[in-house]
Amino acid sequence: MDAKNVVQVQIFGHGYTIRGEADQEYILGVAGYVDRKMREITDKLPVASLSKVAILASLNIADELFKERARLEAQEKTLGSRAARLNAVLDDLFEKSPSG
């Protein structure tokens, strides 16, 4: 049986019990992030519905996630092409070396 942490969090004025494998600090950090995003939405737009605030915050968080994934993919491609060029240079050096 997996060990689960049970953590009480406050998100947008509501208490929730979160059960997960992550440690308490991580769970509290994630809940705090969601809470801040929901509060940012209500600061910018006077939305009365909790579900609308949650959906808009979720869309903002998903947008951040998608942008970060795209950034990481671009970085991986750049690193991959640099590694390929470096391997080609090393291969060329070893082929030209007198002992190789």
How confident is the model at residue 100, as a pLDDT? 54
Q: What integer is the mean pLDDT of 68-92?
A: 93
pTM above 0.85, yes or no: no
Integer Cα distance of 12 and 51 in angstroms: 11
Query: 43 pLDDT exceeds 50?
Result: yes
Name the pLDDT band for 1 (thresholds 50, 70, 90): very low
Contact partners, residue 60, CB within 8 Å, separation at least 6? 37, 40, 41
Q: Check: CB of residue 25 under 8 Å from CB of residue 52.
A: no
Q: Is 20 helix (H, G, I), strand (E, B) or coil?
A: strand
Higher pLDDT, 72 or 97: 72
**What's the total number of domains in the chain?**
1
Domain of residue 68 covers 5-96
Q: What integer is the mean pLDDT of 38-46?
A: 93
How confident is the model at residue 47, as a pLDDT? 79
